[in-house]
Amino acid sequence: MRLRSLQPVLLCTCCRTEIYFCGSAEDEKAVITLISQMGGTDPGELLKYVMLFRGDSALRHLFSVACGIDSMVIGEDEILGQTKAAYAFSHELGVTGYEINTAFKAAVTCAKKIKTQTAISSTSVSTATLAANRAASCGEKVNVLLVGATGTIGSSTMKNLLSHKNVSLTATLRSHSPLPELIPAGNIKTVPYSQRYDHADHADCVISATSGPHFTVTARQLSEAIKTQKKRLFIDLAVPPDIDPGIKCLPDTELLTIDDFEELAKRNNEIRLDSAEQAKAIIAQELDSLKKDTAFHDFLPKLENVKRLLSAKSPEEILYKLKSRCTGEEFEYALKILEKISIKDPEE
């Protein structure tokens, strides 16, 4: 099988492997066989785990994937970049043709339209992202002390904090927990965990996200450490809690817990679900435009013959020819189309 002739695009992410191509049912079987051979498994066994989409369903699936409504986290942005990269790779190899080029360009355009016209990507459902955004909103320049930067939630929160240009970040480290390699050391100040209270006074926001069983911040020690009176936000992302609830009695102190962010994430997810319905309507419109564009492209080689026919025949002769050549259903549809285009558009 010449795979190149199928205009293949291979899309691989952390939770999906998909191949888009143009071909027949026999080509479909050949692609399944090829994948099974590459994976060292039987084609029949592979089919148990394969979803097949054809024609309009395949296009609708591509559009849904590109805009993120088919993702585990609805509206996530990374999949659009992965889709663009997958298409660009095949296009640069010269294996794509008109059909795949048009489909992927339309899917990417549709995804951008959805992200602009809906709230599907503007509302976060990640606790770490929500916490970082809230911390960054404390002022024009925000000093953040992060306790527990090397855990799962802590490291994710740290990456999100570093994406905000107005945030200066100090992270505590235990001696046996080095800073994750993916974080450039120059972007963050690190201090020993034992010195966390020494840096609490300078901080506008303190975030704690450890997996320990005891408080990392207590009201008594905090009150002794704080010398400067200013508004401070404390964010506790740990279960069980890291931060002593008693700190709320200290002046100008606000405490948010993981329950607050989970509730916000839940509300944001509901907004995303509503946006997903709007996205489906936009996809339907864009798919309709794509089908018309591809149909017109396929019809172009026949346009000269049609022009000659229209110039040589009267409207009545053309109608009678349609009547003789079409089925009853086709002829009825053709008449409806002629009636539709004969009604003058008030905007013309």
Active site residues: 14
DSSP label at residue 187: G
Q: For residue 17, what are the β-bridge partners?
A: 12
Q: What is the dihedral of CA 221, 222, 227, 232, to 10 degrees?
A: 180
Asked if 147 and 196 touch (Cβ cutoff 8 Å), the reply is yes
DSSP string across 273-290: HHHHHHHHHHHHHHHHHH
Locate 204 and state its tokens.
């506008």
Q: What is the DSSP secondary structure assignment for residue 243, as one 8-state letter?
A: B
Cis peptide before 213 (omega within 30 of 0): no
Residues contacting 242, CB < 8 A, separation 6+: 147, 148, 208, 209, 210, 212, 215, 216, 217, 236
CB atoms within 10 A of CB 35: 16
CB 144 within 8 A of CB 154: no
Output DSSP code: residue 41. S
Q: Which amino acid is at 258?
A: I
Cβ–Cβ under 8 Å, residues 69 and 25: no
Which of 206, 202, 177, 173 has its CA nearest to residue 190? Answer: 173
Distance (Å, rounded) from C-alpha 208 to C-alpha 222?
Answer: 14
Least Cα distance to 156 among 193, 131, 175 occurs for 131
Q: Which residues pair with 254 in a beta bridge?
A: 233
Q: Token pair for residue 271?
A: 């907004």
